[in-house]
Copies of this chain bind each other. A is one copy, B any other.
């Protein structure tokens, strides 16, 4: 164990120092659906079925599950209006909005990646 440190005294600490926060972020954002849902809410508050329409391919079960997780991480807020019929509105919290820059960076990379794939394949 000491051997690693001796061989790469600089790298080892720097490396885990970078890995751990990225891992924290991944834990909250992991999976196929959380970021797409957040993106959909970045364009305005939405009701359950509206999100379901805007996130291509998601099922009710997944949407319900992911919204619950996002809510418990304080990224999304759920508001119930007791009108008739009852309406439930989802919105991004301020904290949720702090992901905007992450999403923008990821989207830019994704655009470049798609371009590249089309050239190669």
Q: Which residue of chain B is the closest to A5 with respect to CB atoms?
A: B53
| Shortest distance between the CB of A117 and any CB in chain B (Å) | 8
Contact A103 B22, beta carbon cutoff 8 Å: yes
Copies of this chain per assembly: 2
Known: A19-B39, A21-B113, A24-B113. 10 other contacts (CB 8 A): A4-B50, A4-B53, A14-B43, A18-B43, A20-B114, A21-B109, A21-B110, A22-B107, A101-B109, A105-B105
Inter-chain contacts of A14 with B (CB < 8 A): 43
| Shortest distance between the CB of A6 and any CB in chain B (Å) | 12
Contact A54 B11, beta carbon cutoff 8 Å: yes
A61 within 8 A of partner (CB): no
